[in-house]
Amino acid sequence: MDLQGARHERRLEMYRARVTERLRTNRAAVETLYQGGTLFSPQGTRAGRALLRAHQLLQRASALLEQLSGDGVVPAPRLPERIDELYREVDTMLSRSDALSGRNHRAASVARLPGR
């Protein structure tokens, strides 16, 4: 049994789950803004843009995870330094996405936005 390979797969699985969960909650927040009509207010538009930027970051993080898995066109990196570098980049994207989404929830909570 390859323990290093098993650890790599587990780490990849955990990161994929994080990205998937954040994409789901991001989508739900955009749907709430749209369905409530607040997306078309100035505050709602700012919140929607922040969620869109967060979504773009999450998509890029997902592409990096695909690269790490070797499932995509580009072969998976083999050097531990390169693997760690890609995971750090994914962590940065997740943090930036959280900041964009979190700022959206604190500054302009969907429940506090005026309806149209």
Q: What six digits make up the tokens of 52?
A: 């869109």
Residue type, 96: R
Distance CA 21, CA 23 (A): 5
Judge if pTM exceeds 0.75: yes
- Identify the CA nearest to 105 among candidates 61, 63, 43: 43
Per-residue pLDDT of the chain (116 residues; tens, 9 = 90+): 578 888 889 999 999 999 999 999 999 999 999 999 898 999 999 999 999 999 999 999 999 999 999 887 788 898 989 999 999 999 999 999 999 987 544 333 434 434 43
